[in-house]
Amino acid sequence: MVYETSYECGRHPFKPDLLRGKWEQPHDFVFACLGLGLKLDVFSASYWYFYDMGLSGILPYYVYMAIYLVPLMVIHTFMGQFSSSGFISAFRISPFFKGMGYVSLALSSSVLTYYSLFASIPFLFAINSLKPTLPWSCEGIKDWPNLPNDTETICNISTSQVNESDYDNELFDMKMIHVPAMLFFKQQFEKLDMYIDNDVEYNMSFPIVWVTMLVWGLVSFIFYQFNEAPKFGKCLRYMVSITLGLLLVCFLRFLFLPGALSGIEHYVRPDFHDFIQGAASIPVFALQAFGAGWGSIMSLSSFNKFKTNIMSHSWFIAFGQLFIFMLFGLVSFMLLHYFKEITPENINRYMQSHWVLFIPSASVLASLEWANMWTFMYYTMLLMASVIVIVTQIFTILNSLFDEFEQLRQYKQEVTYGFIISLALCSLYFCSNHGVLYFTALSMDSLLVQALLHLLLLLVVLWIYGRERFQRDIKFMIGETFASWKINVLRFVAPLFLLFTLLTCVIVAFMEHSFSSSSIGFISIVLVITPLLYIPSYGVYIMFRNTGSFCMRFKRACRATDWYPLEMEDRQRYEEALGTNDLTHQLYEVTDDMVYV
């Protein structure tokens, strides 16, 4: 392989943004990536696939972490940090596959349209927690109009034995014990049933619409105040620290709930069935480490200084995200066992505790002393966690666009707010009962695309760009060697796990779509699946712009172009390290006086 400029390949040369800035402190990158671990949709409906695995199911995570999670983080971080550019321009490492960057752009944007739910729902409960009497408390539901008198809730659980012969179906005809917080959430819609599988009549929730607009207003305010990398990194540093602090406080308080200790015991108790279930499902969960879309770590690392130690940071981020997941898992288990503790042991009773981390938890908090304070604190924590994921995702998308399209750099403010407004309008669909019920199909589709992009990334970096060149660049950048055995594991073993993950995502996505509405299927095809066609299409376009035979066009389309460090001093040292054998040009600045093809 030789190294060329884009100009020599008949394309517009890449012009780096010298004013894009760096993180104020080196660990701002770590905090930003830890914030990606606050992606909480894993604890919603998709969490039912592996929520009961406990600590025994987490154990396989360490194997996956060593085999492909951390090494993949190193590759993502290497591409962003070495090129000082986002997830589109970083594919100068092999322009034929640059379409992966545009697929990532579409995927990250589509995920943000439904992810606003995880901010708007906590925002709704946080606002209502300011009322003197919580609407979902046992005192508050007495004032509800149109609530049938025979509605059995956790406030008036009957201790009488239910006659099993009264029900024909043991699973779906159980008598439901309602959680007031779930009833409160359903009241926001004309019709909403989280347990039916067929389409329901579409209707919007205007309270959810209002809080969703407030969420996007908050996001806009953050970008108005912290629009530059140093300021944004500082903002994330404090937001992540405060969120984790509030989570720890809530965790300690929940330890004193009835059934909390049995929940922790169930979480840490080894169980063979849970272990097998965890081993099969954790590869899917491991993809959550890369955020709501794909390429976020790549873009975040582009703001690192060139010598930042990406290997130690990748391990720290992986363990930090695992700690966050375990902490939220423990909170979920304690809440679930609280409901089990207060439910009579009748075979025909079923507690309505779906989405326990987000909705039923409000009724648990209502039972505490100083309920309003704890409710506001808990839902503020969930709100901040979701806003962190949203703003981080938008930040990486915008900077990737500005890196790739030079003409947009002078309109940063207009592009930023235009993009946020577009996301806000698209998110209105998920303020409906269909959006709340069926968004998990889009979530699983996004994980499917993530697994495919990771497979292609291994092909691009370790096979097309090459193992030796990758090791050489890592050595040049941080002074450490990426061991050959790790690369061989990534080349030959990790793809097997990713293929298994891809197959699992296909199966689960098929199940989700079989229960969702046709509109969600259409959205998935347009926003998630169709963009995959851009990868081969862009590759063919790049080949068309080159000259020579088919094989020569393909080879030139796969060569790294404009692949060098941003800083002139590092760039000159890189040229000296490479020598003249790998180069067909001098690494120089391309000025506006050049003629572009």
All residues at 6 or more sequence positions from 17 whose CB lies less than 8 Å from its CB, including other chains = 402, 403, 406, 409
Q: How far is the C-alpha of 112 from the C-alpha of 442, rounded, in Å?
A: 11
Q: How far is the C-alpha of 124 from the C-alpha of 383, rounded, in Å?
A: 10
Query: Residues 430, 59: contact at Cβ < 8 Å?
Result: no
Angle 53-294-444 from CA coordinates, rounded to 5°: 45
Tokens of 566: 């941003």
**DSSP state at residue 304:** S
| 35 assigned ligand-binding residue | yes
Amino acid at 447: L
Tokens of 205: 């929730």
Q: How far is the C-alpha of 342 from the C-alpha of 338, rounded, in Å?
A: 7
Q: How far is the C-alpha of 273 from the C-alpha of 56, rounded, in Å?
A: 9
**DSSP state at residue 176:** E
Query: Residues 162, 349: contact at Cβ < 8 Å?
Result: yes
DSSP per-residue string spanning 310-371: HHHHHHHHHHHHHHHHHHHHHHHHHHHHHHHHHS---TTEEE--TTTTTTTHHHHHHTSTTH
Query: Residues 129, 372: contact at Cβ < 8 Å?
Result: yes
Amino acid at 439: F
Q: How far is the C-alpha of 333 from the C-alpha of 357, rounded, in Å?
A: 9
| E-only strand ranges, 433-550 | none
3-class state of residue 25 by DSSP: coil
- The continuous run of DSSP H or E covering 175 comes out as strand 175-177
Instruction: Calculate Rg over the CA atoms of the chain.
Output: 26
Tokens of 31: 């905090």
**DSSP state at residue 269:** S
CA 186 to chain centre: 26
Q: How far is the C-alpha of 57 from the C-alpha of 276, rounded, in Å?
A: 7
371-404 vs 117-128: helix crossing angle, rounded to 10: 150
Query: Residues 53, 60: contact at Cβ < 8 Å?
Result: no
3-class state of residue 432 by DSSP: strand
Tokens of 542: 């790049």
Q: How far is the C-alpha of 74 from the C-alpha of 201, rounded, in Å?
A: 47
Q: How far is the C-alpha of 32 from the C-alpha of 391, rounded, in Å?
A: 10
CB burial readout 239-265, b (16+ within 10 A) else e: bbeebbebbeebeeebeebebbebbbe
Phi, psi of 175 (to 5 degrees): -75, 125
Length of the chain: 597
Give alpha helix (H) positions in 255-309: 260-268, 272-286, 296-301
Q: Annotated binding site: which residue ranges?
A: 35
Q: Annotated binding site for Na(+): which residue ranges?
A: 35
